[in-house]
Amino acid sequence: MTETQSTFHSGFVAILGRPNVGKSTLMNRVIGEKIAIMSDKAQTTRNKINGIYTDQTAQIVFVDTPGIHKPKNDLDAYMDDAALSTLKEVDAILFMVAADDKIGPGDKYIMNLLKDVKTPVYLVINKIDLVHPDQLPDILHGYTEILNFEDVFPISATLGNNVDTLLANLKTHLPVGPKYYPEDQLTDHPEYFIVAELIREAVLHLTRDEIPHSVAVILESMNQRLNNKLQVEATIYVERDSQKGIVIGKGGKMLKQIGINARREIETLVGEKINLKLWVKVQKNWRDDPLFLQRSGYNLKEFK
Ligand SMILES: Nc1nc2c(ncn2[C@@H]2O[C@H](COP(=O)(O)OP(=O)(O)OP(=O)(O)O)[C@@H](O)[C@H]2O)c(=O)[nH]1
């Protein structure tokens, strides 16, 4: 099949919504590889990760935005800026909600921001597998009475229901345009960032509710091979001594398990065996430290 420049559609699409509604799950389903970071703990997606979908007729560059929050500290304010600058740049916005969630102040806050944005907004009601179909009209109405959406898609990102319809519609709505990225490129983020996020995900999964989101991971190095194994070194930063104890665990057991889980994921990502070395350090109030935020990948300048 030949494809001509004039029929090819392309553009940038932001997935926006409260933490935990399933943004990363949707992106992973569409792209088919684990590039966005999933967790059942809220707020794991803090940086802009692009997932790139390409087929014969279109290329959609997905921008997985951080959640929007009313600013409480520097990090939250930063998320606001990041999300807002994304909204203005993209060709379409998917506002994602979970069918089993009530409309909260957070949703209203986001929808109010969206009222002032010219980009077309699609309502994606995810997790429809968790509610009875009869409930859908009421759920839908709750949102459409607040904001005028371009279109509405009830989906299940985990089961895949209606995701094809969403994609097909999105493709036709994107402008005629070039292939921004080569076909085999799935993300434009450097691998080291994804690796750090995989380690962070392992920490959050294993420590469950004991560690709040005040954990950051910095990749120290990933450029040497010893005995045919890529050497990966990273530091896990927490805010308090007590959290350090939890991450390390009795006799180092927890840290060992974190290493095992993270190593598995990283090996899948990089396609080779690795040796993972982890350290745990306390860095008080890192959320309010601009230098630290920058070092851990929160590139503040990017959003100015
Ligand atoms: N039942 C059901 N669960 C889902 C669905 N989509 C996502 N989930 C679950 O919801 C949780 C959160 O999903 P994520 O994809 O991490 O959510 P997110 O919006 O990216 O979250 P943040 O990164 O925190 O912003 C995970 O446990 C998913 O398995 C769905 O369609 N149905």
Q: What is the pLDDT of residues 170-186, one digit of tens each?
A: 998 898 887 776 665 55
Distance, CA 153 to ligand 1 centroid (Å)? 16
- Summarised one tens digit per residue, pLDDT across range 70-103 is 555 555 554 566 667 778 778 999 999 999 999 9
d(CA 146, CA 125): 15
Distance, CA 101 to ligand 1 centroid (Å)? 12
d(CA 50, CA 189): 7
Is residue 21 within 6 Å of ligand 1 at its C-beta? yes
Q: Atom 6 of ligand 1 has which residue's CA nearest to it?
A: 22
Give the global pTM. Answer: 0.61
pLDDT of residue 41: 38
d(CA 171, CA 42): 29
Q: Which of 43-57, 79-93, 212-226, 234-248 has the highest mean pLDDT?
A: 234-248
The domains found in the chain, sorted by start residue, are 9-173 (3.40.50.300), 191-303 (3.30.300.20)
Query: Which letter does DSSP use for residue 64 in this model?
Result: E
- pLDDT interval class at 114 (50, 70, 90): confident
Q: Is 91 helix (H, G, I), strand (E, B) or coil?
A: coil
- Which atom of ligand 1 is closest in space to residue 17's alpha carbon? 19
- Summarised one tens digit per residue, pLDDT across range 33-72 is 444 444 433 334 444 545 778 888 898 888 766 555 555 5
pLDDT of residue 45: 41
**177, 181, 187, 189 alpha-carbon torsion, rounded to 10°:** -110
Distance, CA 40 to ligand 1 centroid (Å)? 6
Distance, CA 249 to ligand 1 centroid (Å)? 28
- Summarised one tens digit per residue, pLDDT across range 135-177 is 999 999 999 999 999 999 999 999 999 999 999 999 988 988 8
d(CA 293, CA 284): 13
| φ, ψ of residue 288 in degrees (nearest 5) | -100, 10
